[in-house]
């Protein structure tokens, strides 16, 4: 970089290796739309305060609009010797409109400029990712509606535990994703304060109207401390932490699709569009997309760690280390967005095997809890009832039977409280329907949750019925 870029303080140009090491335009050019919006708002405010002439403001705005058009069309030539997106845009502006372009930077620093750009970009990215979460929630809502009457094993420790509905299982992920969406939008609200006007660290002597630029850029207000404003990146940490949480939820979903699509489970058949074959074994149908979602979650967690470690030892205010905030933020959003799209497609095309799920309920004594609850309802202390149920499980296991295959006499040998109605209590559908508390898997409760989810999505402007029709058409 020429010494002229920094004024009269330097006698030597920047070393080529140092320039290559320190340039950021290769990745921060992505901030160009936000940078130009911020510059236009800043220029207009300077004009309103009488700091720039109306003629200068007109030239600046027109020049920036022309540059924006070139960038959108892919015609703008990025120059790594100008280091970053801000200097590239400002240099191009000055080259085409002269001194007016050089006056644009009056009353601001790249420190408050980049802070503004990143808040604008991240705010928009949070909204876009939330919309992708909504798309996945729509798919899950439709698939849950299809699975209301499908019973399957619920698991703890990856051991068959109790019967639940497939819809109830899918709705568990909806709860996770709703929280992820809420965290992202909450982060977007909290970061929605403008640092523009804080300068390098201590504001400026020019009579700026910070509130005006904040309003022009859609901020809720202005930041209150100039030192914190240019030295803060916890708004990025908060957003990426929400993304990491979402990535982990998607990873767990991917893991279950991997397990369920295996021959050992056989609960789901993944579509050809989201699976791959083997280069050697022709019988293979690998759930690669679900595996990649699982694998990419580590990347997003790594992005969060990168941000936090980068910040942990920084004194106030701005330090060049903070240039390294952008690659992990961009990567985290890109990765989670891609995972959300792929997971929505994977679940949209998946075919759940209701019969295989019901078969899995037969073995594993998922009805043992029903025995304990039955005896408790008859007046036995639960701990005693639990022991009786455990002894009956061992008896049935030793005989190669299920609990309903034991005779009433065999059961009564363990407790006189057993009567013929125990066999009705051991019915899987009955067992699920008895769990009708709020949050439980009884059919009516599950349907209420599906309807509530669909209503929330429709209130957000999504056409769940259209997505349901599309999934039905794709299935045919």
Question: From CA 136, how far away is CA 101, in angstroms rounded?
Answer: 45
Question: From CA 331, how far away is CA 400, in angstroms rounded?
Answer: 53
Residue 157 annotated as catalytic: yes
Question: From CA 472, how far away is CA 419, in angstroms rounded?
Answer: 46
- Phi and psi at 242, nearest 5°, equal -65, -40
Integer angstrom CA distances of residue 140 from 55, 182, 220, 253, 355: 55, 17, 34, 11, 20
Q: Which residue has the tokens 């933020």?
A: 329
CA proximity to 232, closest of 357, 347, 319, 102? 319
Question: From CA 171, how far away is CA 145, in angstroms rounded?
Answer: 10
- Quick check: 407 and 392 in contact, CB under 8 A? no
Question: What would the DSSP string read from start to end of 57-100?
Answer: HHHHHHHHHHHHHHHHHT-----GGG-SHHHHHHHHHHHHHTHH
The encoded tokens of residue 328 equal 């992990």
- Phi and psi at 174, nearest 5°, equal -65, -40
Q: Which residue has the tokens 């990168």?
A: 306
The encoded tokens of residue 449 equal 């949750």
Residue 278 annotated as catalytic: yes
Looking at 2, 53, 262, 278, which residue is catalytic?
Answer: 278
Q: Which residues contact 315 (CB under 8 A, 6 or more apart)?
A: none
The neighbour count for residue 158, using CB atoms within 10 Å, is: 7
- Quick check: 153 and 161 in contact, CB under 8 A? yes
Question: From CA 83, how far away is CA 85, in angstroms rounded?
Answer: 7
The neighbour count for residue 7, using CB atoms within 10 Å, is: 7
Question: From CA 97, how far away is CA 432, in angstroms rounded?
Answer: 73
In 81-210, DSSP assigns E strands to 151-156, 159-165, 193-194
- Phi and psi at 107, nearest 5°, equal 80, 10
CB neighbour class for 170 (10 Å; exposed up to 12, middle 13-18, buried from 19): buried
Q: Which residues are part of the catalytic machinery?
A: 157, 278
């Amino acid at each position: 970089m020429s010494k002229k870029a920094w004024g009269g303080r330097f006698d030597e140009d920047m070393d080529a290796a140092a320039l290559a090491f320190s340039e950021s335009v290769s990745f921060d050019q992505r901030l160009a739309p936000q940078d130009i919006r911020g510059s236009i708002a800043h220029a207009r405010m300077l004009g309103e305060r009488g700091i720039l002439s109306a003629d200068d403001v007109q030239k600046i705005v027109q020049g920036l609009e022309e540059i924006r058009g070139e960038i959108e069309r892919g015609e703008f030539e990025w120059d790594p010797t100008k280091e970053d997106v801000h200097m590239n845009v400002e240099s191009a502006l000055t080259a085409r409109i002269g001194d007016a372009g050089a006056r644009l930077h009056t009353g601001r620093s790249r420190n408050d400029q980049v802070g503004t750009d990143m808040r604008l970009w991240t705010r928009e990215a949070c909204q876009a990712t939330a919309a992708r979460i909504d798309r996945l929630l729509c798919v899950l809502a439709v698939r849950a509606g299809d699975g209301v009457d499908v019973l399957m094993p619920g698991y703890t420790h990856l051991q068959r535990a109790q019967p639940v509905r497939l819809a109830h299982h899918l709705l568990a992920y909806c709860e996770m994703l709703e929280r992820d969406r809420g965290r992202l939008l909450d982060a977007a609200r909290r970061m929605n304060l403008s640092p523009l006007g804080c300068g390098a660290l201590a504001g400026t002597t020019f009579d700026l109207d910070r509130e005006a630029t904040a309003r022009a850029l859609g901020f809720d207000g202005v930041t209150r401390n100039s030192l914190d404003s240019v030295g803060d990146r916890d708004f990025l940490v908060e957003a990426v932490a929400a993304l990491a949480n979402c990535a982990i939820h998607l990873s767990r979903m991917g893991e279950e699709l991997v397990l369920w699509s295996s021959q050992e489970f056989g609960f789901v058949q993944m579509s050809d569009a989201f699976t791959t074959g083997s280069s050697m074994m022709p019988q293979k149908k690998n759930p690669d997309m679900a595996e990649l979602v699982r694998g990419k979650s580590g990347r997003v967690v790594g992005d969060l760690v990168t941000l936090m470690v980068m910040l942990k030892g920084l004194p106030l205010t701005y330090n060049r280390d903070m240039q390294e905030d952008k690659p992990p933020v961009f990567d985290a959003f890109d990765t989670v967005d891609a995972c959300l799209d792929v997971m929505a497609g994977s679940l949209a095309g998946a075919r759940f095997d209701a019969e295989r799920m019901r078969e899995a309920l037969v073995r594993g004594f998922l009805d043992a809890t029903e025995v304990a609850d039955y005896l408790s309802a008859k007046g036995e202390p639960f701990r005693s009832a639990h022991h009786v149920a455990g002894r009956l499980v061992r008896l049935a296991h030793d005989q190669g039977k299920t609990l309903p295959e034991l005779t009433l006499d065999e059961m009564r040998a363990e407790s006189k409280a057993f009567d013929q109605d125990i066999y009705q209590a051991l019915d899987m559908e009955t067992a699920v329907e008895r769990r009708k508390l709020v949050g439980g898997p009884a059919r009516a409760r599950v349907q209420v949750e599906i309807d509530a989810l669909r209503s929330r999505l429709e209130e957000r402007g999504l056409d769940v019925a259209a997505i349901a029709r599309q999934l039905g058409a794709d299935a045919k």
